[in-house]
Structure 1
Amino acid sequence: MGATEHSAHAGGAGGDGAGGVVRVRGIELGTGVPEIIVPLTGADERSVLAQAERARTAPARIIEWRADLLAPSAPAAEHRERVLGALPALREALAPEQALLLTVRTAAEGGGRALTDADLSALLRAGIALRGADDTALVDLVDVETARAPEAVGAVIDAAHEAGVAAVGSFHDFAATPPREEILATLRAQRALGADVGKIAVTPRTADDVLVLLAASLEAARDGAGPHLAISMGSLGAVSRVAAEVFGSCATFATAGEASAPGQLGADEVSRMLAALRP
């Protein structure tokens, strides 16, 4: 069963089939005002929980844990155990209505850990498998880099769907902005792999690059196949973060502390601008 078809519990994902809306904890991705996602970037459990406490009161209903940034010097096995050990307390630290997005960004896409495809898949699937006292998954969404080996990506997406967790298929380019057709092809390929939400983040070198990203995002939204995020990073691309609704993105990233990518703005500021720029 796909996550966009699952609605068995409030922490799971579900959809109504109209435009591929994805639901997590009562949040609807793909309709209305774009959601604000705040990242947690702490290097140890205490700082992650402290950031979570700040994020609890931020105008954000989705909290992303950048678990690749935890224990940066720890060996892979220790890192995995610490990630899994921290998840229950992190879920408890968030507000009940806030959804938890688990992300392990690899060094290949600007993240903090060099992981094999198999190790990345195993870590994400282990996080998905953790259950709370109510026997629901501790995480509500999981990010998987779709440029990894198809079998590893497929295993994560399948595990997410079986657990009622929404899968976010992501791709990051820290060097450039690909052509519009390539951006569109990436978002469509993520959907074809089974991702409930597609995500692409690119680096602009000129204002024209930002326009390319926004045009591709708008065209992807017109496909009507499901929600996506399209982000132009850095200060040059900041407009893409606050004009998300106009150009079809279902969410945007903002900070309640440290940023996790270039160009992120404060959550309070983004919330005000999203409201002011509503079409």
Structure 2
Amino acid sequence: MKQVEIKNCIFGNGDPKICVPLFGGSREEILETAGVMRKEIDRLEAIYKDKKVDVIEFRADFFDDVADRIKLGELMDSLREIFSDRLLLFTYRSEDEGGELRHDRAESMIEDIWEWVITGKMADIIDIELKSGNYRVARAAVKAHEAGMFVIMSNHNFEKTPHDEEILEMFREMEILGADILKIASTPTSRFDVERMLELTKDISSGKIGSDYINHPIVIISMGASGARTRIECRKTGCAMTFSSIGNGSAPGQIGLEEMMTKL
């Protein structure tokens, strides 16, 4: 499986990367939270010297002014300063896939928002949801690569865990559409679903299945408390990245950063 290197951070090399989400409504709230996160990350990294937070995910769907290009750019510049030594991931999660409900219907402008982020090089990585439509997804991925940005292509299912074949087909589509990192997050309805996702991650990352069409690092997560193992057993399974939290999490079952550092 191909490794992906972004500013000396290598995904898919057997060392799972830790991503911490950042969210808030106003600029002031977001920057205040970012300052608290920065201090906590520095504190924990001083204790757990072999662990590092590699990626900060800005969840733009929570931001009140996400539909304002200038305000969005100014905020991203500020986050760049605070997290200058980390990768910055820009995510606008749609309502259908668990994003924050927006009254201004900003997600109807998602192509414009992606364009602003890409042309302004506001982040190192951009999250693009697979179900946004093949043409829109492929076009955004091409533009991101032309700008020197990388693409996480994602799918989130809050109702069930898809069958293995369906997940493999989504990964195939992501590869075709230009993903650099492939991500699936789903909701388990039984312990069997969690076990199945652990095994599927192992099988794909080891090349046992899908090796003829899955070439990039994968992220497979079972959400909720019952799926916590998929977040902390990444070294065993080959999952390229895990998501942890400082304070409130952005998805069901996210584990606090300190606990993650002790278990990962």
Q: Same fold (TM over 0.5)?
A: yes
* 1:161/1:106 CA distance change after superposition, 3 Å: same
* Deviation sequence 1:140-184 (CA, Å, 0-9, x none): 100000111111111210111001111000000000001111112
Structure with the higher helix share, 1 or 2: 2
Pairing 1:255–2:258 present:
no
User: In structure 2, what is the equivalent of residue 91 of structure 1?
Assistant: 80
Q: CA deviation at 1:117?
A: 7.3
Query: Which whole-Å CA distance do the structure 2 matches of 1:53 and 1:116 have between them?
Result: 26
Q: Any stretches of 5+ residues in structure 2 without a counterpart?
A: 42-51
Query: Which whole-Å CA distance do the structure 2 matches of 1:121 and 1:217 have between them?
Result: 31
AA aligned to 1:63 is I
TM norm structure 2: 0.87
Q: Percent identity?
A: 33
User: In structure 2, what is the equivalent of residue 148 of structure 1?
Assistant: 132
User: In structure 2, what is the equivalent of residue 225 of structure 1?
Assistant: 215
Query: Which whole-Å CA distance do the structure 2 matches of 1:226 and 1:89 have between them?
Result: 31
- Kindly tell me the number of residue pairs found equivalent between the two proteins: 245
1:242 equivalent among 202, 216, 232: 232
Q: Any stretches of 5+ residues in structure 1 without a counterpart?
A: 1-18, 131-136, 275-279
User: In structure 2, what is the equivalent of residue 14 of structure 1?
Assistant: none
User: In structure 2, what is the equivalent of residue 3 of structure 1?
Assistant: none
* 1:20/1:113 CA distance change after superposition, 3 Å: farther
* 1:189/1:117 CA distance change after superposition, 3 Å: farther
User: In structure 1, what is the equivalent of residue 34 of structure 2?
Assistant: 52
Q: CA deviation at 1:116?
A: 8.0
Query: Which whole-Å CA distance do the structure 1 matches of 2:141 and 2:108 have between them?
Result: 14
Query: Which whole-Å CA distance do the structure 1 matches of 2:97 and 2:38 have between them?
Result: 28
Which consecutive aligned stretches of 4+ in structure 1 deviate over 4 angstroms post-superposition? 113-118
TM norm structure 1: 0.82
Q: CA deviation at 1:128?
A: 1.6
Query: Which whole-Å CA distance do the structure 2 matches of 1:169 and 1:247 have between them?
Result: 20
Question: CA RMSD of the aligned region, Å?
Answer: 1.8
* 1:199/1:236 CA distance change after superposition, 3 Å: same
Q: CA deviation at 1:81?
A: 4.3
Pairing 1:107–2:106 present:
no
Q: CA deviation at 1:46?
A: 1.5
Q: CA deviation at 1:264?
A: 0.3
* 1:33/1:232 CA distance change after superposition, 3 Å: same
